[in-house]
Amino acid sequence: MTNKETILIIDFGSQYTQLITRRVREFSVYSEIYSHKIDINKIKAIAPKGIILSGGPMSVYDEDSPKVDPEIFNLGIPILGICYGLQLICLNLGGEVVSAKNKEYGKSELEITGDSVLFEGVKKSSTAWMSHGDYVAKLPPAFDILAKSANSPFCAISDEVKNIYGVQFHPEVVHTEEGTKIISNFLFSVCKCTGNWNSHNFVEESIARIKALVGDKKAICALSGGVDSTVAAVLIQKAIGHHLICMHIDNGLMRKDESKTIASVFDEKLKLNIIHIDASELFLTNLSGVSDPEKKRKIIGKTFIDVFEKEAKKFSDVEFLIQGTLYPDVIESVSVKGASVTIKSHHNVGGLPDVMNLKLIEPFRELFKDEVRRVGRELGIDEELIARHPFPGPGLAVRVLGEITKERLDVLREADDIFISEIKKAGIYDNIWQAFAVLLPIQTVGVMGDARTYENVLALRAVNSLDGMTADWFRFDHDFLAGVSNKIINKVRGINRVVYDISSKPPSTIEWE
């Protein structure tokens, strides 16, 4: 942990916990999520400027409901409890929480009734987003009521002396009209943050830290050609210069012609000396007969590390492996009882073996995708490379559903290339956060010419998102989709049906596996 000012977010399982992090970071204040099981000494070591207790789906009275060390309220650190977090404050400090007869879900009218720095500049009456079945019936000693709603007499409370605040609503969601202002007040008026966390400072801190860590040893960067590994490689090169070895492993799971072009493009534009390793046969052999998505990820992760360690032995003093792991990867791969559950393991997180000869450096483990792009711009990387759509670590292995074969991969590559090419031709590539095709393990009847066909179904997926934590499907013009479908079916042998995915995240994930 660096000496940057930090807002610590303690997770109790809310679907909005990651959104709290985003809202805080939008004010150039660093924030990080920890489990409710975090040790009090860890909190002291982090020395956060403030603590936010998230919401959660359980009642504070449930037997296995997540709790927090009561000592947290005696640290002298400003605290904001949201929904479940508010109820925990009351439960621990002498208030009373009861089950509500009239539960509140959705929009409600918030009426401010007291004076507080938390509500400075906030309208006296506004819309707030509620999501709770319990409510505060009695205030803890020394607390004042700040606001109420129709079904919550103590909708916002505070102990202004100890700087402990609680709100029954969710200021982090867009449906809370004054939510952004409330969060801003907590950060700057209560916690006295300065908002100095930005890409420039991140680059300077990272270069200094990596330079001190690596010293005169060597590091290998797993250069896939995606945004994350590209920015990571340039950042590491700034820190250790010629001690960086960039290696691109062709795993046979890349998009059409991608591995062929990576070496020349990155050597010319970024002056990165790349070693190209063709391990496609090894990856496909290890994946033979495997259909389970979690097994695919584990196999790819292990094979990836095996190849890297083998190649690293050809160089002296190689001790470090650079990976472009992002914060959403870490969040989605963490499983904590009573809080966030594992959605899926990520190639950069869950696929690594317990014992590994190379030490990991993950410079972006704390960042979201849009923050990595800002770092890339700070480093002077061309927008053409920075604006590329995200591509999963396991590559097309998680876009060929079911068993992976070279033939099925080639079918998907051709179809995906047509889809992306048409998007670029239409001038809408930069309007979409991520677009790709998925080959389904389904065959359907079709007619081509006078012959009956029984071939594959292809799904098209395109979404808009800020950081990958939430996403909404992209609204293509119908004629565009019709044209893409027609071109794919006519040009790609093995596909006779194209469908478009109109699912958002949540409840669906962006990738299908």
Catalytic residues: 83, 170, 172
Q: What is the DSSP letter of 249?
A: E
Beta carbons of 154 and 136 less than 8 angstroms apart: yes
Closest CA to 153 of 105, 119, 111, 94: 111
How many Å apart are CA 254 and CA 332, to the nearest integer? 23
Residue 20 in 3-state DSSP?
helix
- Compute the C-alpha angle 235/237/243, nearest 5°: 145
Helix (H) or strand (E) holding 144: strand 144-148
Q: Which residue(s) pair with 457 in the sheet?
A: 497
How many Å apart are CA 104 and CA 149, to the nearest integer? 10
Sign of the dihedral defined by the CA atoms of residues 463, 464, 470, 472, in that order: negative
Half-sphere exposure of 53 (CA within 13 A, CB side): 28
Residue 499 in 3-state DSSP?
strand
Beta carbons of 173 and 19 less than 8 angstroms apart: yes
Neighbours of 495 (CB within 10 A): 24
Q: How many Å separate Cα 126 from the centre of its chain?
A: 31
Retrieve residue 354's tokens: 């317990």
